[in-house]
Amino acid sequence: MLKAGILNPNINSLLSRVRHTNTLVIADRGFPFWPQIETVDISLADIPRVLDVLRPIHANFVVGRVFMAEEFRAANQAGVQAEFEQALHGLVVIFEPHADLKKRVPPAIGLVRTGDTVQYANMILESA
What does the DSSP 8-state code read for residue 52? H
Indicate the residue type of 81.
Answer: Q
Catalytic option among 20, 58, 89, 98: 20
> Among candidates 44, 24, 23, 51, which has minimal Cα distance to 121?
51
Kindly report the number of other CB atoms within 10 A of residue 93's CB atom: 15
Which residues of the chain form beta strands (DSSP E)? 23-27, 39-41, 63-69, 92-96, 110-113, 123-127
Q: Catalytic residue at 58?
A: no
Active site residues per annotation: 20
